[in-house]
Chain A
Amino acid sequence: MELLQAFQYLLSPTPLMWLTVGVASGIFVGAIPGLGGGMLMALTVPLTFSMDSTHAVLLLMGMHVGSVTGGLISATLFKMPGTPSAMMTTFDGYPMAQSGKPGLALSLGIGASFLGGLVSAGFLIILAPPLAKLALKFGPWEYFAMVLMALVLISSISQGTMLKGLLSAMLGITAALPGLNASDGQLRLTFGFDSMTDGFNLLPVLLGIFVMSQLIKDTVELNKTASIISLKNTQLFPKLSTWKKQSLNLMRSSIVGTWIGILPGIGASISSMVSYGMAKAFSKTPEKFGTGHKEGVVASEAANNANAGGALIPLITLGIPGAPVDAILLGAMIMHRIQPGPLLFQTNGDLVWALMGGYLVANILMFLVMLFSTRLVARIININRAYMIPIIFVFCLIGAFALSNRIFDVWLVIVFGIVGFVLDKAKFPLGPFVIGYVLTGFLEENLRSGLQASDGSYFPLLTRPLSLIFVLVAVFFLVFPFYTEWRRNRKKD
């Protein structure tokens, strides 16, 4: 019933317009190598301050859905993934396009993205309400243990080594520590600077890590160019017979993508990698992977779009971002005074259903926009970066300054941009940094509440069943990579 009302609302002109604007701009920006959904969303957040909060969140969500799919255009035609999650698409999409079938590669990618999105939307609508009900039973120790687990999980599964992932998460936590501690009114780590009293605001940190660091990277890699494959005389409508053969692969990849999305903090790149690996393992023709195989394109694209829907589940029900990009969505919701979590179903049920329905509608819009605009987007995405880089920094400056009219926030964008660039260059994943930064307040608040309830004892962390499970999972993921590394080294010796 609520879902039907949500669709009624979503199909009214204004929400539909914002969703369409979000999806279309997401596709366009996602298709441009060097930009991406995170950048677009972080730059858009300040422009939404005067908007209705539901419209703002729908706009950002549309951007997220659009950008994940947009990345496939440049991955297929340039061999340069527009977004990191489209990396696996280059392995088969580009060779297929090179062999004279760019239309088939794109139509497979578009269709797989659409169906992956629909499957995850189904899971989102079915799973979110009961999960939120279950989460209502969580106490502070369960939340504390779950955030710990999320941090360990994202560090261990992120690209690069686990050690670097953990260090990145801890640096993110460090960035969230300065400022006034609301619980006892104590200032900490401000080093005598008045500007630090409020700590580092979320938006400048996100703009720095997601946007400024990427701008620096784009400048360093200014000479990175690629020739585009023409889309002339190609058919972009997927054939039904092709889909029949891909149905099992499609379903499996969508489910894998959704479930990896549900795991807190893990992004679409991992989903597409795992799905690609599974598709290869189950394939009758694994030797064809990497040479322009249909199964490879379908697995990668279905999984990365399904991940976006899966990642909304922990965000809506627990207030924990399912992927680094979702941290921006979480930040935007908090700035619009919406606190995601289990209580959101009770306090703002209309919004939750609008979000879940909005994700489904965004996927349908994405499919339509991709079918009719891919040729146009493919022609104009090869923009000279000399034009883009200064303009994007101007937008960063406006966004950071608009938050509280402080030039200090603009300095933060530059500092965190440099930090993000250095970490990225040294192969430290930035996802754990962002998730660590976003979840620190929540982590400390729940630890404090738990300790207050238990008279300063840490035992409930191990005596309460759910928190014990989260702790055990965290310990497993923490120890396992080190154990395998130790065994590998021993074998070598």
Chain B
Amino acid sequence: MKLSYQHIQDYVIGASTIVLAGLILWAVREIPPPFFDPLGSAAVPKTVAFILILLAARLTARRYFENKAEAEKAVHQEPYNLEPWLTTAVVVFSILYTLALGTGLLGFRWGTVVYVFLTGVVLAKKDRKVMGFSLGLALVIGIGGDYLFTNFFFIDLP
């Protein structure tokens, strides 16, 4: 039986939620019982974990037992092409940018210039005009932003 995209999404979220709840239950084992108040630090996370398991199980079960034909009918197709690879690239660029700033490999000024330009180029989809404008924008945001946030808003930058 072929599963629809909605089924896979709900199964993955249901399973991840159960794993998360398991992690919570595992982590609260080490919390000592309360001394000063009747609630303590473990009671709320424990209760939340049990409710998460209950809801995730219900979500998964409902998907499993639902009428497959109706679920397929309810699938909504967007009238335009989605861009999963472009999105992955943008998220990866954002992670690399944060990593570069966090490790000190690049400062805010030049890190931002590189990030804004490269992301702009990827999103421009070969439109040279947009790429050129992205370069200008990258310089303005990187150099101008560095000046503005440091000297005007007094914000520390990475």
Residues of A within 8 A of B (CB): 46-47, 49-50, 163-164, 166-167, 170-171, 173-174, 177, 181, 183-184, 186, 188-189, 191, 215-216, 219-225, 384-387, 389-391, 393-394, 397-398, 401-402, 405, 407, 410-411, 414, 418, 422-423, 425-428, 444, 447-448, 451-452, 455-456
Shortest CB-to-CB span from B28 to chain A, Å, is 7
CA distance A163 to B17 in the complex (A): 13
Residues from chain B with a CB closer than 8 A to the CB of A163 are: 55, 58-59, 62
Residues from chain B with a CB closer than 8 A to the CB of A191 are: 23, 27
CB-CB nearest in chain B for A425: B9
Residues from chain A with a CB closer than 8 A to the CB of B90 are: 215-216, 219, 389-390
Residues from chain A with a CB closer than 8 A to the CB of B31 are: 186, 188
CA distance A64 to B32 in the complex (A): 44
Residues from chain B with a CB closer than 8 A to the CB of A390 are: 90, 93, 115-116, 119-120, 123, 134, 138
Q: What is the 8 Å Cβ interface bit string for chain B, positions 61-77, against chain A (1 contact, 0 not)?
A: 01000000000000000
Residues of B within 8 A of A (CB): 6, 9-10, 13, 17, 20, 23-24, 27-28, 31-32, 34-42, 44-45, 48, 51-52, 55-56, 58-59, 62, 78, 80-84, 86-87, 90-91, 93-95, 97-98, 101-102, 112, 115-116, 119-120, 123-125, 127, 130, 133-134, 137-138, 141, 145, 149, 153-158
* Contact in complex: A426, B9 (CB < 8 Å): yes
Shortest CB-to-CB span from B42 to chain A, Å, is 7
* Contact in complex: A220, B82 (CB < 8 Å): yes
The answer to whether A394 and B98 touch (CB under 8 A), given A177-B48, A221-B82, is no
* Contact in complex: A222, B86 (CB < 8 Å): yes
Residues from chain B with a CB closer than 8 A to the CB of A224 are: 78, 80
Give the interface SS of chain A, mostly helix, strand, loop or mixed. helix
Residues from chain B with a CB closer than 8 A to the CB of A418 are: 91
CA distance A308 to B38 in the complex (A): 39
CB-CB nearest in chain B for A440: B44
Residues from chain B with a CB closer than 8 A to the CB of A394 are: 112, 115-116, 141, 145
CA distance A401 to B107 in the complex (A): 14
Shortest CB-to-CB span from A405 to chain B, Å, is 5
CA distance A186 to B20 in the complex (A): 21
* Contact in complex: A181, B20 (CB < 8 Å): no
CA distance A426 to B11 in the complex (A): 10
CA distance A167 to B63 in the complex (A): 15
CB-CB nearest in chain A for B39: A448
A-B contact pairs, 13 of them (CB 8 A): A163-B58, A163-B62, A170-B48, A174-B45, A186-B41, A188-B41, A223-B81, A225-B80, A384-B130, A386-B123, A410-B101, A451-B39, A455-B38
* Contact in complex: A407, B52 (CB < 8 Å): no
Residues from chain B with a CB closer than 8 A to the CB of A220 are: 82-84, 86-87
